[in-house]
């Protein structure tokens, strides 16, 4: 009996020791995610405030002398483009395709290539270039850049860990950082989680769900602690909807989805054409022409073409001026086309949402819908246009849902996203970010592995 009691005692001691070691290991693995999430929340808030300040600078220029745009816009576009070209070529554009490419490269074989896509240099140049673009009236957003910034923060925190620290998956670290960045940028925690699952990876969420959830929560709470519990857009009235509103939502989703996919396709064609430029002066000429086109649209047509378009969305949702002129959707599609393809930093999330809002507001005016029906159609247009660009209908619907806290229309928004994704296939089978991801993979890897950079084939090695 004493022998059996001793065995039980030793077994219990061994079990407790193993359990304590496991708890210690889990805690040590969680700490880097928590630290990186705090940094992400703080940086996202600072970036958001600086971006808003830059857009106010544009508004000041417009109200002072509108013609100054013909000077300020080309200068800002050129400086923003030069910063990226000179110091961090992979900081150009949105940032989401770079993160997607980093996830593919987060393997022992290509780990050193990730530094080209995610680094502290990328972080600083990304923020600075996009702020200068915003000051010059660039039709860009800060949400995509925030995702690359967050990925860089999480990547750097992972690199700073001592060798004795429990091993953390580099791929999961990057994916979690991207989700935390989106959550902090839009104040949409569910959107960040769905984005990580739907857009960034096909990995089963159970492998990193705890890290993902805690990172999104910490980054979001940090942003809320500094900015307050705000909504990106507010609380539009979507009560007392008409019985046939589902049909209108489906109707709006078709042109909005086609427009989103069409805009993305045009951007890709322009970027492909620009890739053949062999002289710096060709790039300079292109950037100046794009800047003058943006300034010309603002001066001769409508100054609301400038900026991310958040004011356009809030005007349609919360004022009596709900309807747009027929040309506004065209302007909101042309603006990102001229801004994004310059090669400077700047995302398409917010511009895509504002373009979709303009489609919804225009069609609502044509159909003489009520104020509450118009609000829903505007939200549906936002979801549909973004889905046409990204092909992530659930992420788009959840983002707009969390921006407005209108849970009673979730099915309307999901319907718009699903229809948009279906019709967008008529223009391109793959998303805007998928095309750009493989472009960045080719640039980062070069000719080392053609299989890795072959579009739409999953070839990356599993992480050791």
* Full set of structural domains in the chain with CATH: 29-227 (1.10.3080.10), 245-440 (1.10.3080.10)
Helices 349-367 & 245-274 angle (0-180, nearest 10): 140
pLDDT at 106: 83
Distances (CA, A) of 182 to 186, 347, 436: 6, 12, 19
Contact 189, 228 (CB under 8 A): no
- State the Cα–Cα distance between residues 222 and 207, nearest whole angstrom: 25
**Helix/strand/coil for 346:** coil
Q: 141 by DSSP, 3-state: which? A: strand
Structure tokens at 324: 């747009």
State the pLDDT at residue 374: 93
The backbone torsions φ and ψ at residue 88, rounded to the nearest 5 degrees and listed phi first, read -155, 80
What average pLDDT is seen over the chain? 85
Predicted pLDDT at 363: 95
Alpha helices in 369-448 (DSSP H): 371-390, 393-404, 410-424, 432-445
- Report how far residue 158's alpha carbon sits from residue 202's, in angstroms, rounded to the nearest whole number: 22
The pLDDT assigned to 438 comes to: 87
Give the model's pLDDT for residue 210.
61
5-61 pLDDT per residue, tens: 554 544 455 444 545 666 767 777 788 888 888 999 899 999 999 999 999 999 999
What is the torsion angle, in degrees rounded to the nearest 10, for the CA atoms of residue 419, residue 421, residue 422 and residue 427? 130
What b/e string do you get for 272-289 counting C-beta neighbours within 10 Å, with b at 16 or more? eeeeeeeeeeebbebbbe
Let me know: does 277 contact 286? Beta carbons within 8 Å: yes
Collapsing DSSP to helix, strand or coil, 345 comes out as: strand
Q: How far lies 314's CA from each of 55, 99, 117, 382, in Å?
A: 15, 30, 34, 12
Q: Which residues of the chain have pLDDT under 50?
A: 3, 7, 9-11, 14-16, 18, 204, 459-464
Q: In Å, what is the CA distance from 44 to each residue of 41, 127, 146, 174?
A: 5, 10, 6, 16
Residue 458 has a CB neighbour count (10 Å cut-off) of 7
CB within 8 A of 11, min separation 6: which ones? none
Closest CA to 157 of 149, 223, 437, 463: 149
Tokens 């013609």 -> residue: 67
Question: Are 242 and 405 contacting, i.e. CB atoms less than 8 angstroms apart?
Answer: no
Using only the alpha carbons of the chain, give its radius of gyration.
23
Residue 119 has a pLDDT of 92
Q: What is the pLDDT of residue 33?
A: 85
The C-alpha atoms of residue 384 and residue 388 are separated, in whole angstroms, by: 6
């Amino acid at each position: 009996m004493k022998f059996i009691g001793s065995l039980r005692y030793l077994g219990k001691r061994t079990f407790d020791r193993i359990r304590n070691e496991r708890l210690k290991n889990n805690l040590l693995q969680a700490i880097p995610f928590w630290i990186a999430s705090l940094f992400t929340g703080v940086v996202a808030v600072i970036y958001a405030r600086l971006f808003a300040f830059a857009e106010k600078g544009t508004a000041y220029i417009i109200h002072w002398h509108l013609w100054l745009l013909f000077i300020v816009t080309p200068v800002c576009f050129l400086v923003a483009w030069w910063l990226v070209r000179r110091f961090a070529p992979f900081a150009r554009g949105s940032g989401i395709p770079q993160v997607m490419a980093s996830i593919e490269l987060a393997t022992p074989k290509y780990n050193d290539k990730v530094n080209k896509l995610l680094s502290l240099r990328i972080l600083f140049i990304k923020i600075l270039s996009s702020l200068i673009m915003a000051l010059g009236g660039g039709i860009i957003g800060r949400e995509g850049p925030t995702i690359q910034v967050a990925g860089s923060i999480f990547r750097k925190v992972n690199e700073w860990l001592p060798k004795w620290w429990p091993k953390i998956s580099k791929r999961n670290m990057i994916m979690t950082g991207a989700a935390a960045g989106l959550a902090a940028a839009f104040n949409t925690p569910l959107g960040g989680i769905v984005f990580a699952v739907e857009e960034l990876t096909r990995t089963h969420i159970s492998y990193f769900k705890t890290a993902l959830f805690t990172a999104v929560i910490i980054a979001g709470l940090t942003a809320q602690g500094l900015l307050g519990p705000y909504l990106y857009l507010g609380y539009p009235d979507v009560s007392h909807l008409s019985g046939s509103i589902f049909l209108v939502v489906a109707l709006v989703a078709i042109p909005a989805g086609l427009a989103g996919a069409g805009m993305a396709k045009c951007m890709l064609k322009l970027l492909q054409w620009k890739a053949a430029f062999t002289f710096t002066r060709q790039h300079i000429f292109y950037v100046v022409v794009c800047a003058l086109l943006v300034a010309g649209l603002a001066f001769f047509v409508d100054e609301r073409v400038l900026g991310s378009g958040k004011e356009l969305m809030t005007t349609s949702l919360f004022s009596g001026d709900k309807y747009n002129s027929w040309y506004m959707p065209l302007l909101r599609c042309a603006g990102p086309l001229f801004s994004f393809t310059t090669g400077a930093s700047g995302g398409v999330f917010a511009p895509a949402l504002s373009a979709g809002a303009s489609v919804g507001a225009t069609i609502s005016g044509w159909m003489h819908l009520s104020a509450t029906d118009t609000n829903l159609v505007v939200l549906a247009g936002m979801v549909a246009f973004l889905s046409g660009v990204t092909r992530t209908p659930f992420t788009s619907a959840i983002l707009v849902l969390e921006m407005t806290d209108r849970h009673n229309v979730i099915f309307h928004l999901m319907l718009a996203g699903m229809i948009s994704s279906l019709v967008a296939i008529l223009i391109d089978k793959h998303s805007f970010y998928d095309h750009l991801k493989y472009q960045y993979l080719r640039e980062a890897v070069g000719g080392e592995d053609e299989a890795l950079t072959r579009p739409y084939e999953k070839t990356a090695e599993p992480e050791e």
